[in-house]
Amino acid sequence: MLSPPYDGPMHSTFTSRMTCIGAATALLLTLAIAPASAQELKTWRHGVIEAKSDAGFMLMASRRGFAEKQGLKIDVLQVKSDTIGLKALLAGELDSYEGGPGGAIVAASRGADIKILGCHWPTLVHGVFARSTVANVQDLKGKTFAISAPGAMPDLLARAVLEKYGMAPSDVRFANLGSDLDRFKALSAGVVDAGVVSTEYLPVAPKDIRLLFAARDVMPNFIRICFVTSGKVLTERHDDAVRFVASEIAALRFAVAHRDETLALTREVTKTKEDDPRPGFIFDEAVKYKDVDPEVPLSLDKLEWMKAALAKTTNLPPFDLAKLVDADVRAKALALLGK
């Protein structure tokens, strides 16, 4: 006859040990699985303009798990201008970047292997800021106008504005000052008389600095930001490109619908204090005027307008704009999210 199980101190000790061993085994299995899962994520190298008050939109996919849901880990490289992002893409240092389409159009017209996947900021949140001594665009004649690198959005916008008001680029002195913050500081210090700056600086601008006009009011076809990659990347990593765009669309849909979470991410990234009005201002402006489009549209009409505007100021060889865009990636991204 079998003896009944011993229920004394020895049995209790044995049970405790087995429980500890089981817990330790579970912990080891968890630790073993976690790195493997992380290793399964494919790295996607993506360039963005230096983080500012709209960073919550730009970095939502990489910082809040949307990329991971698509099996990607987005490594973000912040750059001073979209022209730097373009150079990094062509050098193979990035898989994509987001920036104004102007540089991509110029590069593609000269044979560069560039593809635009969609444009999630179809209008501008920028404007021409000026000192109080400048009442209108004509008053800029002979004055210093802050832009950024040739071919970048501020440069193209400044030239388009001058043309609209009957002025030539030679009527002003252009100053290449890099980022929005650089241009705003130069304007505030009186180093320049006007500059293309994000309207996020409007609530903190000194009294002698004013918004001459908002770019969206005078240049409605001017596209601010598109997702840009290369034909080489699409050939080698087409499925990853689809998942990248899908993660960005999902993240942007979330961002425009969740103000507090988007502002929290902006402040986290930029180290902005709670009482700084800029993140809230730019969020409200972007949503109110639909400056951000989460569906990442591809408007050939707007791109054609951009191409025509560039042709007036740049030696732009004739080329078929349709070869610059890739609508297939976006279509598949939307289908993937539909599942």
172, 194, 218 — which closes off a domain?
A: 218
In this structure, the answer to whether residues 87 and 60 fall within a common structural domain is yes
Report the C-alpha gap between 84 and 265 in whole angstroms.
25
Residue 227 has what pLDDT?
Answer: 98
175, 198, 218 — which closes off a domain?
A: 218
- Domain range spanning residue 198? 126-218
In this structure, the answer to whether residues 264 and 312 fall within a common structural domain is yes
Domain membership flag for residue 11: no
In this structure, the answer to whether residues 297 and 255 fall within a common structural domain is yes
Residue 339 has what pLDDT?
Answer: 61
Strands 126-131 and 209-214: antiparallel
Residue 17 has what pLDDT?
Answer: 40
Residue 279 has what pLDDT?
Answer: 96
CB-CB contact of 214 with 100 (8 Å): no
Residues ≥6 apart with Cβ < 8 Å to 286: 54, 57, 125, 256, 292
Adjacency order of strands within the sheet including 42-49: 72-79, 42-49, 96-99, 225-230, 114-121
Domain membership flag for residue 7: no
Report the C-alpha gap between 281 and 272 in whole angstroms.
13
Residue 81 has what pLDDT?
Answer: 84
Report the C-alpha gap between 139 and 61 in whole angstroms.
43
Residue 26 has what pLDDT?
Answer: 40
User: How many other CB atoms sit within 10 Å of the CB of residue 83?
Assistant: 22
Report the C-alpha gap between 65 and 72 in whole angstroms.
9
CA distances for 85 relative to 52, 75, 311, 315, angstroms: 17, 14, 22, 21
In this structure, the answer to whether residues 310 and 236 fall within a common structural domain is yes
In this structure, the answer to whether residues 304 and 263 fall within a common structural domain is yes
Domain membership flag for residue 281: yes
Task: Name the token pair of 46.
Answer: 């993506």
Blockwise average pLDDT, block size 10, the chain, 339 residues: 38 39 39 46 96 95 98 95 93 96 93 97 94 94 92 83 92 92 95 95 94 90 95 98 98 98 97 95 95 96 91 85 95 93
In this structure, the answer to whether residues 155 and 212 fall within a common structural domain is yes
Beta strand spans in the chain (E): 42-49, 72-79, 96-99, 114-121, 126-131, 144-147, 173-176, 194-198, 209-214, 225-230
Report the C-alpha gap between 237 and 228 in whole angstroms.
14
Residues ≥6 apart with Cβ < 8 Å to 205: 129, 184, 188, 211
In this structure, the answer to whether residues 322 and 240 fall within a common structural domain is yes
Measured in degrees and rounded to the nearest 5, phi and psi for residue 79 equal -125, 160
Domain membership flag for residue 86: yes
Structural domain total, the chain: 2
In this structure, the answer to whether residues 188 and 243 fall within a common structural domain is no
CB-CB contact of 187 with 211 (8 Å): no
CB-CB contact of 76 with 247 (8 Å): no
In this structure, the answer to whether residues 113 and 173 fall within a common structural domain is no
Domain membership flag for residue 187: yes
In this structure, the answer to whether residues 235 and 330 fall within a common structural domain is yes
162, 190, 218 — which closes off a domain?
A: 218
Domain membership flag for residue 26: no
In this structure, the answer to whether residues 101 and 53 fall within a common structural domain is yes
Domain membership flag for residue 35: no
In this structure, the answer to whether residues 198 and 279 fall within a common structural domain is no
What's the whole-model pTM score? 0.81
Domain membership flag for residue 324: yes
Residue 323, domain CATH: 3.40.190.10
